[in-house]
Structure 1
Amino acid sequence: LQRMKKLPSRRIIVTHLPPHLLPPSILQSKAKILVLVWNPKNMAVSYYCFYNNMPVLPSFTSWYGYFAAFMNGKLAWESYFDHLVECNKYIGHQRIMMISYKELKE
């Protein structure tokens, strides 16, 4: 955190943290937040590849076992859908913009 404070203004910080794990002061600051939302199908496939390549996590031998765990929020970290629900609470905030990956590519 100290190193980030020393960076010049207009910093870009990338995180996968859900809103409840961000410092509460971020909503009172002048920071602008971009929430990039993936299509859940693409997210599931990407996360499957990531998850099975992490040595510290248990690997899934089948897509079906993984997909059931993904849909039920039984993977490491939290459910992607819970994350989206929490982000949706901030849709009207003046400095938070939600955009889909598809919209970003257009």
Structure 2
Amino acid sequence: NFSVGQRQLFCLARAFVRKSSILIMDEATASIDMATENILQKVVMTAFADRTVVTIAHRVHTILTADLVIVMKRGNILEYDTPESLLAREDGVFASFVRADM
């Protein structure tokens, strides 16, 4: 039997081998330790650099290197921009998430 984290890593490997053009990661790092999460993030950034990656995350630091961030609440878009632009908005929702995550 494989752990939840191990199954997640197998799914990621399968997406890479299949050359999937879109990768959807829904809380993909929730069941793995921080060291494995860091490795996973580097692998995704490298192996999927030429593909679309949609990341649904509550750990804000996992999306700080994304090209674009969409902050949603109850299906409505609250903010949409680059992480850098969203962080520059001192009263922004994304910026407050990042401050709370530190």
Scaled to the shorter chain, the TM-score interval is 0.3 to 0.5
Instruction: Provide TM-score, normalisation by structure 1.
Output: 0.32
Give the alignment's TM-score, normalised by structure 2: 0.33
Structure with max Cα Rg = 1
